[in-house]
Every structure is written in structure tokens, then in C-alpha cells.
Structure 1
Amino acid sequence: MNDRTETAAAEPGETVTIAGWAHEIRDLGGIAFLIVRDRTGKIQVKFEKDAMDDDLVETGTEVSRESVVSVTGAVEEEERAPTGVEVVPESVEVLAPAEPGLPLDPSEKVDAELPTRLDNRTLDLRRDEAKAIFEIRAEILRAAREAFRELGGTEITTPKIVATGTEGGTELFPITYFGREAFMNQSPQLFKQLMVGSGLERVFEIGPIFRAEEHNTPRHLNEATSIDFESAFIDHEEAMDACEHVVRSAYEAVAENCESQLETLGYEGFEAPEEAFPRLTYEEAIERINATGELDEQLEWGDDLPTEGERALGADVDGHYFITDWPSEIKPFYIMDHDDGELSTGFDMMAPSMELVSGGQREHRHDHLVEGFEQQGLDPEAFEYYTKMFKYGMPPHAGWAIGAERLVMTMLDLPNIREAVLFPRDRQRLSP
């Protein structure tokens, strides 16, 4: 429809053709209004019944809500209209009628539960609030890519079907691959490390990851989007610098470019973090969590941080922060240890409510890497495609990964991570 004008671009004095959905019909007796909605907003179409053809009035005022319509007419100024203008129609065409019994109400006059909304996601995204979340998500990913390029990164795409898992264990979805067993990849970790040993040196990827974890919580998914970064010739401290740059850039882009979406979601005074993210050691973190008194039992050295502990520390810090110098035994085999062997260079970056980022300096020495496999009960031979490249001059390197959905969730304070995914995949949901 090359002659179509989007509703936000309709100006008084023009004759336009607008096309969108029948959002609402208001019949006031001698006059009626059809509200047409498209991706740019809504516009009022006015029907003066006595002055217009009966068929035109009937088509425009008896159409079922959410039907797709095309309206051609003159745009006139009208202060009382929601957008200050209205269309006086010359013709109305119903392009695709909608059944009257809608499974949810896109006009948001009647609320729907999250399962109903996810079952009918196409309709759900006709709601302004749902649409705003994904417009903000798109801006976050755009800003992340730009920030990576500012850092000199090259975007890559790595396999999602693999012969072995990144971390091994039970968190793998097995598939049949031409008669052989294969798996959906948990992470691009091993592949992005191989790329820092190539001529690319500094790479990033934004793509899906798959984890067969049997969680059923508001913050876990079985298919997620991972924002990954890996660079040669940097250490864990410089990797944290890069991480902070990307996260801050995402916040700044949303603050600058998503004002209307934030307003739709009810956010006032949304601001990007200005202060540097504090860097707490693991030991400092458990001490501060214990000092809050929020846990029934005190944490001890070597404990992973429970959800309640993360929340207590997040409330105490009141902002994004890093946890560094984790015990070596907690972090994966590919994370390099400090010289004492007890502490790793691994780090997590936290939002006040949960973990967002996992990263660290990687083990680039072949013999130490193989030892790490063996210590975690993994067969190094199964990963030979990966380990053998460390024999041919693998530089020191570091990197990290952010869960995109968690970044959206924490930025917008969403109650459930599924709000930040078009079509979530969890233990119960495989369709749509």
C-alpha cells in the first residue's frame, strides 16, 4: 500500500489513506467515531450520519474491533480529538474482519493474565505497554551493538548445534543430527574464545542459548538471548570496564530515544547510571550479605549466593555492582585463577535484584586448560576441536555474557522475565 499514510504523519489539509486496526468505536447518536490504530499511534475517523452515505457509515461503525481497515479521507484539525486531528472519510474498506470474541482486549480496558497474553502474543503486542517493552528491547540491542563497535569488536555468529556442551552436565537439550547425538548450545563461550585466537581478536555476538534447567521461576528461561563479548590482550579488570560501558550505553540510549515508550510504561525520571559500578570481592559480598541479617543462616566461604542474598546485597549497594575474586572451585574450568590458585579472575555483574553478567579472564595455557577439564569431570578429548587451538598461540583474553532478557527485565522492573520475550520457552511452554 504505497499510498498509505501512517497515523502520526497525517496533517490537516491533506487527503490521506490510513490503514490499521479498528481500536474502538464510539457511537454518540447522530455522530460516531472510529479510532484506527497503527504502529505510530491512533487517529479519529468522524462519521456524521445524516451527512454521509448510509453504507459508508454502516461499514465504519459496525466493523468488529481489531478488524483491519483502510480509510481514505480529508484530515481536519479538531482540538477535541485525541491527537488534535481527525479524518472525515470518503471511503472505508474492511481488509480483514476480526471475530467479535477476542481472547484478550488490546484496548486494555479488561486485563488479561500473563498465560492468556502469552497464548495470544500477537494480540497482546497490539497493547501499547507490551509493544513499548519490545521497542525498548530493540533499542537496547541496537545500543549494545554500537557500544561493541566503539570498543573495536567484530560481530560474529557461532553454531547453535554442537557435539558437546560448553559446561557439560545435565543442562543440555539433546537432538538427533543425521543419526548422531548432538546438543543445543548452552553458550558461544568456546567458539568466541577460538575467535580471539584468530585474526579477529575482539568479537561480540547477540544470539540464542539453550539450557535444560528445570527452573520454574519468574527469572529463568530455557531459551534466552545472550549478549557476549570476548577480547584478546585484556584482563578481567578491562573486561569489567567494557561490560560497564555496554550496560551504561544501553541505559543512555533508552533514556534518550525511548521517551514515549517509558511514558507508556509509567516511568518518570528514568536515568542512566552515572557512578562507576562498585567492585566488591566475593569475601566482601558475603560479609555484607551476612551483615544485613536477611538470611536465616549465615553464608560461609565457598557458598554460592542465594537469591535472597543477592537481593539483600543489591538493596544495600542500591545500584549495579560487580562481585570479583570468586573461589576457584565455584567458577567454570575455562576461568583463569589468580596466582594463589584459591581465587579465580571470574566476576559477576549484578543488578540490584539479580545477576546479569558472568565473566572473567580465560585460561589460555593449554596444559592448565586440560587440567581444568579433568578437574570438572569432563573428557578433554571430547573438546579437542577447542583445546588443540590453544597449542598454536592463544593470547591472554577475557570476556563476559549478559542475559538480554534479564537486562530488559531489571531495567524496566518487570515482574516476570517472560514479559521481555516474544515467545518464551520454559518447562511448560513450547507453543506458540
Structure 2
Amino acid sequence: MAEQSNNSQELPERPKEEQEGEKGPSKSALKKAAKEKEKAEKAAKRQAEEAAKKAADDANDVSKEDYGDLPMLGSQPYVPHADSAKRISLTELAQQNEDVSGKEVTFRAIVENARNQAAKLSFVVFRQGISTIQGVVAASDKLSRQMVKFAGSIPSESVVLVHALVEKPKEAVKSTTIQHLEVHVKQLFVIAKAEPQLPMQVEDAERPLPGEGEEQVENEGRPIVTLNTRLNNRVIDLRGKHNHAIFTIKDGVTLLFQEYLRSKGFIGANTPRLLGAPSEGGASVFEVSYFATKAFLAQSPQLYKQMLIAARFEKVMEVGPIFRAENSNTARHLTEFTGLDLEMAFEEDYHEVVTLLEELMLFIFNGLRTRYKLETDLVRSIYHVEDFALPAAGSVPRLTFAEGIQMLRDDGVEIGDFDDLSTPDEKRLGALVLKKYGSDFYVLDQYPLAIRPFYTMPSAETQAKYDASKPNDGYSNSYDFFMRGQEIMSGAQRIHDAGFLEKRMKEHVTPVDPKSEGLRDYVNAFRYGCPPHAGGGIGLERIVMLWLGLPNVRLASLFPRDPGRLAP
């Protein structure tokens, strides 16, 4: 018993607070609860006061019907608005000749940026396409401070409906494309609100990217947005004004291409992109599933263009996608691009076609200079490049391949007579041509036969010196066109005689079987009488890239495809 008594005396004593807790909450706990209650009461009172003030302000808001978020379009029955006929584009507004001061306008636009300058003043930059204009929201007896605050807090990239008066600013607005006018907002409604946090800012995407081999440098402390980031967020990237200009120009090249050729009697064609067998040899084709068998994506419309010539369509053109399964991860290659193709029968010599192609390209270049000057200047203000040097009509530098090789040798380049030109060689030759002829555009004619496709016509001199043991020696009636030292078009006179075509197919550097599934119908097309013909295929994205001085061809493709990119 004594041992048990000693053990009980060694037990630790419970804390005093814990002992008191048995009778009720401690004093400190009660004090804490009282403070929290008081804090909650103050917060509730403050919220009630703010709500009452807001209700009072809303009741006294003279502009409460003139701003706010509109219901989602389509969620309510459509009722035409009285101002529907008055809506105007910013481009139309800027181009009006008469004094438009005080004119009422209504337009839909994007908020490029918005800021509250003061309690009674906000500025909003509105954008449509590449046009921007400054909007002023100023408090008055007819426009409330609440509306001013609302305007300055609209997230960038939100879609809005604006009712305003046009005025002339005291000084030119240098931050917008429309500098001689501004709009004083009277009503402002949000049609579609953008999230406040975007994956990237449009203004960050409007800064230049480095060229191939160059390092990205920070621009005035702004974030560095890489090409990969831009392409991963392409929808936001494409909102940049320069991108709208790029793709307006790209559409313009297509328009000018078709306009000129239609004036020369060409007819538009649409040839297949799904083939039952590879048609031009080589491994650079994409294979796809096709029901119970397989198919291949066309590398070009070349064979079909020629078959149309045999079918008595003497002048054909086509604009369509081209697929190349080449693992080329360079700044100038895509696995899917847009081809501007043409083929035509000629009378006596293939240079008739070369001349037409030269005239076509000059028509496109001069059209871009005049019709698309605004867009060209906008993009070149970001990617600073020399103006494209053009020769006079009829004076396009046209060199033979041998002459081009000699120019390179004279400049210290070691290169063989029949070696294909590397990209550095092409760029170097382009610089030499510019220096000698004052032109960024030139033609290289009479390429070596061995580096051209099997359907290329050997030159007359080559045929005269034919050696069966060396069937691919010599030159051909083929040509490439260049811009700023880079190839934009490859073309040639095609073989139009079935027997000679079969012979060349068998003895080509990479022989193909004229009786194979993918080529049999093509060869047969020439057995029934086909006129001599020539043509070419132009890379649309290459023209846009080189005209504007873009550092990467992907910038000239809306949603580019390359060996590592299939999305978005």
C-alpha cells in the first residue's frame, strides 16, 4: 500500500487552465470569441454600408442604362437595334474626307487596353483588324463616374459595342494607327469579356523574333515570348496586328497570282491530294489509312497538271496544300504548305513559259507594293528589312546554272560544275546577284539533269551528246526562281513524249517503273498526243516570308505543320 501511495504522488499535476476548463471556457477563450464577434459585426456593418452606398449610387447613376455586360448573343430572341444601320468600321471612319467632328458612330471592337486616368477620366484603345483608335470616357452631368470606372476596368481583348462622338484630338494620338481622330464614348457595352489572365499578352507577341542562329534578346524589360510559346497559343498570337497584316498579304499573293493568270487565259483546277501510290518516287510521302488499304498524300499536283495539258486544258493553275514527309527542322521548311502551281503548253521554246513566270512574279511584287503597302510597312516596322529590290519589266536577271557556279567560284566558293546548291550557296549567290544587277529577284536556268525529277526534259545540247553509259550527264530545260537568295519556285519543260518519258524514268538517277500503279496512267496520258509544255510550283509561304523579311516560314502559316508540330 505504501508503494502505491508513493506512485500516485509522482503523477504530474494538470495545467491550471485545463482544470478550470472543466467548469467552462477559459477567460482567454472568451476574450478571443468576443473579439471575433466584434470583428464579424464590423465587417457585416461595413458590407451593409457599402451595399447601401452602391444601391444609392446605382439609383443615382445617370449612366446606368449606358454601360454594362450584355446578355450572351443568341440567348434571347433577336430584336434589331435602331442603330444597326449606323455601324461603321474604323477603316471607313479614318478614310472619310469630310470633317467628321461631332458625328455619332456605332462600332464593335476589341479593347486593346483600358486604363483609369482619374476618377473622372478613362482611356480605352479600340481595335478592329490593324486599325486602332483612342476612346475617351469622361465624367460629366450626363456620364457617371461609375461608367468611367467600368470602362477603365474592362479586361484587354474583350469584345465591346461602342456608341460615341467623333472628335479631333488637340494633338495627334501617336499610340494608335488612327492619329487624327478619337472617339468620345457615350455608351459602352461588353459583348464578350476576356479572362483577365491570358497565357500570353498580344503586345508581347508583336515584338520581333530572332533569325535562324540568332539569340533571343530581352526587349525593354518585356517578357521573352518564344516562337514555340506563340505557336502553342496561336489564337492569341494571331490577334497581333502584324499577324493580320501578314495573312492579308498572303491572301493578296494568291489573289494577284490568280488575277494575272486568268488575264492570260488560265483556268483553275483542283487535283487529288489522296493517291493510291507514291507518284514521284522517293520516301518523302505521308502514308494514311484508306478503308481496307492505304493511300498517300500528294507531294505536288505535278503529274495531274501534265495530264490536264494532255486533256487539252492548255493553261491550268492551282492553289492547294502540298505535303512533304521531310524531317527538315529549318526556318524555311514545312511538312504542309500551300502551292501556287501552273502548267501551260507553249509554241516553240520553254522560255516562253519562263518569261510568263517572270512577268507573273513582277505583277505580284508590284501589286504588293501598291495594294498592300500599309500591311507591308506595318510588318517591316517590326522585322526591319531592306525594301525588296526589283528589276524593270523585261530585265529580270536570268543566269544559266553554269554562270551562277562561276560567280560563286569567282567569290571564292569551291563547288563542282554539277553540284546542287546548298542553302548558304544560294544566299551567297543572291547577294552577288543583288550587287551586280541590283535585284533581289532572279532566275537560274539550265540546271544539271541529274538533280532534277525524271519528267524533266534534257537540254538539246545534252540530248545531242547523249551517252548511254552516263545518261544523267549534262543540263536540262529547268529553272528555279529566287527571292533574297532563297528558292521560291522550281519548274521545267516536261517530257511530253511517252516513249522518251519511259526511257528517262528507267535511266534516271533514282529509277522508277513506268508501269507501276502510281505512274501507269500518267505515262499513258502522253500516248495520245500531248503538246510541249512547261510550268512550275511556287511556295506561297516562302514568298510571304521573303517579301516581309520574316525570320521563320512558320510565321507565314496560320497553323504550321513541321516534323514536331501537329497542333493546334
TM norm structure 1: 0.94
Matched AA of 1:389? A
Q: Does 1:367 align with 2:367?
A: no
Match among 237, 240, 252 for residue 354 of structure 2: 240
Does the 8 A contact of 2:267 with 2:315 survive in 1? yes
Gaps of 5+ in 2: 1-83, 94-99, 174-178, 208-221, 435-439, 464-473
* Distance across 1 between alignment mates of 2:352 and 2:451: 22
31-40 vs 111-120, which moves further: 111-120
Shift of 1:272: 4.2
Does the 8 A contact of 1:163 with 1:183 survive in 2? yes
How many residues of Structure 1 are paired with residues of Structure 2 in the alignment? 429
Residue 249 of structure 1 is matched in structure 2 by: 363
Does the 8 A contact of 1:22 with 1:65 survive in 2? yes
Residue 347 of structure 1 is matched in structure 2 by: 479
Relative distance call for 1:2 and 1:225 in structure 2 (3 A) is: farther
Find the residue that maps to 1:215 and give its secondary structure: coil
Match among 352, 375, 378 for residue 512 of structure 2: 378
* Deviations, residues 324-383 of structure 1 (Å, cap 9, x unaligned): 222222111111112333321111112232111111111000011112222332222221
* Distance across 2 between alignment mates of 1:203 and 1:429: 33
Match among 45, 59, 63 for residue 135 of structure 2: 45
Find the residue that maps to 1:317 and give its secondary structure: helix
* Distance across 1 between alignment mates of 2:418 and 2:280: 20
Residue 426 of structure 2 is matched in structure 1 by: 310
Does the 8 A contact of 1:71 with 1:89 survive in 2? yes
* Deviations, residues 66-117 of structure 1 (Å, cap 9, x unaligned): 1111111222332336333332323211111111222222234845222222
Residue 336 of structure 2 is matched in structure 1 by: 223
* Distance across 2 between alignment mates of 1:104 and 1:360: 46
Q: Does 1:277 align with 2:396?
A: yes
Shift of 1:390: 0.7
Q: Does 1:19 align with 2:108?
A: yes
Does the 8 A contact of 2:116 with 2:153 survive in 1? no
Shift of 1:291: 1.8
Gaps of 5+ in 1: none
Shift of 1:192: 0.5
Residue 34 of structure 1 is matched in structure 2 by: 124
Find the residue that maps to 2:202 and give its secondary structure: coil
Does the 8 A contact of 1:307 with 1:354 survive in 2? yes
Find the residue that maps to 2:531 and give its secondary structure: coil
Match among 255, 258, 269 for residue 142 of structure 1: 255
* Distance across 2 between alignment mates of 1:212 and 1:145: 28
Matched AA of 1:303? D
Find the residue that maps to 1:28 and give its secondary structure: strand
Shift of 1:50: 4.9
Matched AA of 2:353? A
1:15-414 → structure 2 map (5 Å cutoff): 15-29=104-118, 30-39=120-129, 41-51=131-141, 52-80=143-171, 82=173, 83-107=179-203, 108=206, 110=222, 112-234=225-347, 235-265=349-379, 266=381, 272-274=390-392, 276-293=395-412, 295=413, 298-318=414-434, 319-339=440-460, 340-341=462-463, 342-375=474-507, 376-381=510-515, 382=517, 383-414=519-550
Matched AA of 1:286? I
Residue 554 of structure 2 is matched in structure 1 by: 418
Q: Could you list the runs of 4 or more consecutive aligned residues of structure 1 that deviate by over 4 angstroms after TM superposition?
A: 108-111, 267-272
Does the 8 A contact of 2:125 with 2:135 survive in 1? yes
Matched AA of 2:246? I
* Deviations, residues 181-218 of structure 1 (Å, cap 9, x unaligned): 11110000000101111232111111110000010000
198-207 vs 86-95, which moves further: 86-95
Does the 8 A contact of 1:201 with 1:232 survive in 2? yes
Does the 8 A contact of 1:335 with 1:344 survive in 2? yes
101-110 vs 416-425, which moves further: 101-110
* Distance across 2 between alignment mates of 1:195 and 1:425: 30
* Distance across 2 between alignment mates of 1:4 and 1:61: 23
Does the 8 A contact of 1:210 with 1:224 survive in 2? yes
Shift of 1:62: 0.9
* Distance across 1 between alignment mates of 2:450 and 2:390: 35
258-267 vs 144-153, which moves further: 258-267
* Distance across 1 between alignment mates of 2:565 and 2:85: 39
* Deviations, residues 224-262 of structure 1 (Å, cap 9, x unaligned): 111111001343211211111111111100111112112
* Distance across 1 between alignment mates of 2:251 and 2:201: 25
332-341 vs 60-69, which moves further: 332-341
* Deviations, residues 254-291 of structure 1 (Å, cap 9, x unaligned): 11111211221227866643262222222222222122
Matched AA of 2:356? A
* Distance across 2 between alignment mates of 1:307 and 1:146: 32
* Distance across 2 between alignment mates of 1:174 and 1:253: 39
Does the 8 A contact of 2:390 with 2:441 survive in 1? no
* Distance across 1 between alignment mates of 2:272 and 2:370: 35
TM norm structure 2: 0.72
Q: Decide which structure has greater strand share.
A: 1
* Distance across 1 between alignment mates of 2:489 and 2:226: 30
Does the 8 A contact of 1:313 with 1:352 survive in 2? no
Relative distance call for 1:320 and 1:76 in structure 2 (3 A) is: closer
CA RMSD, 1 decimal: 1.9
* Deviations, residues 155-184 of structure 1 (Å, cap 9, x unaligned): 111111112233221100001111211111
| Identical aligned residues as a percent | 35
* Distance across 2 between alignment mates of 1:90 and 1:77: 16
